[in-house]
Structure 1
Amino acid sequence: MQKLFRLQSKGSSATSSQTSFSGSSSGEGSSTSTTHASHVSTATYNGNSNPSPKIGIFLVGATYLDTIMHVNSFPHEDMKQRSERFEQRRGGNAANTAEILGQDPRAKVWYMSSMPAPAAAKILLTALERNNVKTEACVFHSAQLTAPQAYIISAKDTGSRTVISHSTLPDLTLEEFIKRFDAARMRAVPDIVDMSCPFNWIHFEGRGPDVYKMINYVESIYIKQRWRQKLTISVEFEKGDRPGIPYLLKQADVCFFSKLYAQTLGFDRPEDFLASIKEFCKPTATLFCCWGAMGAVGLHLETGTRFSSSAGTVDRVVDPVGAGDTFIAGIILALGVRGYDIGRGLQFACELASQKCAQYGFSHLLKSIPPDL
């Protein structure tokens, strides 16, 4: 059994419909008011308070040192062009998500990643630790003296982000994961809402076969301890060409799909993509597909309820790098920490991702969102 989320309440402005999906088509029907009990703590959320105990969140992913060149338009091949702005900051999808989650006082966030030698990793860990993210679960490789690199060209006129990455770091192994995860869950208990259950939400980047084994291990522990109904396992599906990805679809309680993933499989509408991919997912899963400036769509498989939300409005887009990672953080915060229903959670995540595009980096991002949204 998995944690269940409330579908929608009267206060949500995201649209929902009870929909029967088949193939790549979707038919609209009557709205639903079905609700499911939430296992999220019932303590009242207050953006200005620092309540305790907290919701335990654990994230696993790859970490990069991003070098970002902001340009007015993408350069033509074999030409020179001046950058309007240059910056270097820690990157990596789950790492970006963790930094945002750590800004919520009700979340206790842990992050695990393969890292270079401690001296080279310092620049990668600083922003995370400054935002209350625990990094003790990271695995350091003393022979790796440089951080993984990602070079990003962010074009202002189209909003495109072109990424070239390089890493010689080995991916996390199952053995490393088990050792560090077990140690982390022992340390996490003292100030967690449910002291018997260290993490209520565990998120993975969908990077390959070893992630499948890691999730199997987590489930074996949580089932043995009778914690499984208190846990949400989410997986990000960014690239469709990674080995072992199809196996992860059946494991995730929450699936996050990128626009790139859907387009790689030949879809140009998120609704059609979710209608097709749902057959390969866990029957009780909740699916989300973020579509950039067009907003995002969600699908609750158990009831067939589809949700959609437009993107938030900002005066000027200055830095869209990490907007998708911000969307994921928004959903985890909304459903896993604040106890929002799915409709309101989707709206919150879209607004948060839009606000990310209006600022450079992730610092103090949650403060840009009204506490009652």
Structure 2
Amino acid sequence: MHKMFRLHSKNPSASSSTTSFSAGSSSGGGGMSYSGPKYGIFLVGATYLDTILHVADFPTEDSKQRAERVEQRRGGNAANTAEVLAQDPRARVWYMSSLPSASASRPLLSDLEECNVKTDACVYHSSQNAPPQAYIISAGRTGTRTIVSHSTLPDLTLNEFIKKFDAACMRLTSDIDQISCPFRWIHFEGRGEDVYKMIDYVESVYLRHGWRQKLTISVEFEKGDRPGIANLLMRADVCFFSRLYVETLQFDRPEDFLASVGSFCKPKATLFCCWGTHGAVGLHLETQTRLSASTGRLDMVVDSVGMGDTFIAGIILALGIRGYDIGRGLRFACELASQKCMQSGFKRLLRSMPQDD
């Protein structure tokens, strides 16, 4: 059984309650000096080379339009989340991904390593000479981004995961003597038919060593049409659902979706759905406590690419490292995601947040 997160609710014994928050007054850490215990976080996902076309308005079909600016940077949901997490000095962040040859991957991984993300767990495919590509049209006036991606890389296999994960556990345990288990939070992108087997393997290792109570396993559900993704619902302690996933399943409101999907999840799971600039909602299944938070006022959207990835990082930081209750964690994650939209990229994002108390 994973550790329980504290609830922020006026009536925690009620069978169903709703609590709303504004993102404007959350406090979160930006301090970079820390000498206390370190917390291992392990993330598994796909890595892309993003080409971002910044335009004022999304182009109409069969038209020509000049981009205001173009940028290339390393992308990928879990990779972006890892970059934000690594800005907290309490976090020791490891990242695993299926990648092309070592030479083709070097520009992507050097960027992550410079951000203090360990990439030793990545798996290389020497026959692949180019990274997966994502072309993103970012419309400044509406804050939307439209993504067209392409990848020929195979998904991670269970055997690849076991080999690299075991090595990472041994490495982290020997590097950090302040922790009693290697990783306190393990996060998966919901892609690939072997992901549920990877989670089952992690469960078996942590149960065997008596660590399971200290571990949180989370899964991001981004696309509803991915094979085997339904197998992950009952395996995650924390579920992150994208707006795309919810709308693919014909729901218009995130609150309605969370109420419906809860019966397919762990009875004590915590569910989150980020709804872009409209904020996010959460549901703690054991108490049926519903929570919501706004993004606050966005005076100017500079770069919305990675807003959802930043939200996930905010929840992991808030609940997994800082010990916030779920309500405060949701508020913190929304504020962090809002801050992301007001800057380009992810650099020094946590420094813009108030000091942790």
| Structure-2 separation of matches of 1:127 and 1:298 | 32
Change (3 A) 1:169 1:48: closer
The answer as to whether partners of 1:59 and 1:98 remain within 8 angstroms in 2 is: yes
* Paired position in structure 2 for 1:166: 150
Distance 2:99 2:66 in 1: 32
Aligned residues: 348
Which residue does 2:282 correspond to in 1? 298
Instruction: Give the drift of 1:215.
Output: 0.3
Structure 1 position 121, deviation (Å): 0.6
C-alpha contact (below 8 Å) 2:38/2:179 kept by paired residues: no
Counterpart CA distance in 2 for 1:300 and 1:194 is: 30
Q: Secondary structure at the match of 2:311?
A: helix
Q: Distance in 1 between matches of 2:88 and 2:288?
A: 31
Give the distance between the partners of 1:116 and 1:299, measured in 2 at CA: 38
Of 251, 254, 261, which residue of structure 2 is paired with 1:270?
254
Give the % identical residues: 72
Change (3 A) 1:19 1:315: farther
- Cα RMSD for the two superposed structures: 1.9
Residues 31-85 of structure 1 deviation map (CA, whole Å, 9 limit, x = unaligned): 7xxxxxxxxxxxxx78242223300100000000000001011111222111011
2:269 aligns to what? 285
Give the 5 Å matches for 1:64-75: 64-75=48-59
Mapped pair 1:242 → 2:226: yes
2:22 maps to none
Is 1:322 aligned to residue 306 of structure 2? yes
Tell me by how many angstroms 1:193 deviates.
6.8
Unaligned runs of 5+ in 2: 20-28
CA contact (8 A) 1:297 1:306 kept: yes
Measure how far apart 1:9 and its partner are. Answer: 7.5
Give the unaligned 5+ runs of structure 1. Answer: 21-27, 32-44
SS in 2 for 1:209: coil
The answer to whether the Cα contact below 8 Å between 2:293 and 2:331 also exists between their aligned partners in 1 is yes
Report the Cα distance in structure 2 between the residues aligned to 1:222 and 1:16, rounded to whole angstroms: 30
- Matches of 2:332 and 2:221 in 1, distance apart? 21
Q: Deviations over 1:302-351 (max 9, x none)?
A: 11111110113332101100000000000000000111111110000000
Is 1:91–2:72 an aligned residue pair?
Answer: no
Q: Determine if the alignment matches structure 1 residue 5 to structure 2 residue 1.
A: no
Distance 1:351 1:145 in 2: 39
Change (3 A) 1:121 1:101: same
Please give the alpha-carbon distance, in whole angstroms, between the structure 1 residues aligned to 2:275 and 2:13: 19
CA spacing shift, 1:194–1:255, aligned 2, 3 Å = farther
Q: Equivalent residues in 2 for 1:146-295 (5 A)?
A: 146-192=130-176, 195-295=179-279
Q: Measure, in 2, the Cα distance between the counterparts of 1:180 and 1:318.
A: 37
Find the counterpart in structure 2 of residue 352 from structure 1: 336
Moved over 3 A (4+): 15-20, 190-196
Once residues 91 and 275 of structure 2 are traced to their aligned partners in structure 1, the CA distance between those partners, rounded to angstroms, is 27
Q: Counterpart of 1:183 in 2: which secondary structure?
A: helix
- Contact 1:69 1:154 survives alignment (8 Å): yes
Higher mean C-alpha displacement, 180-189 vs 155-164:
155-164
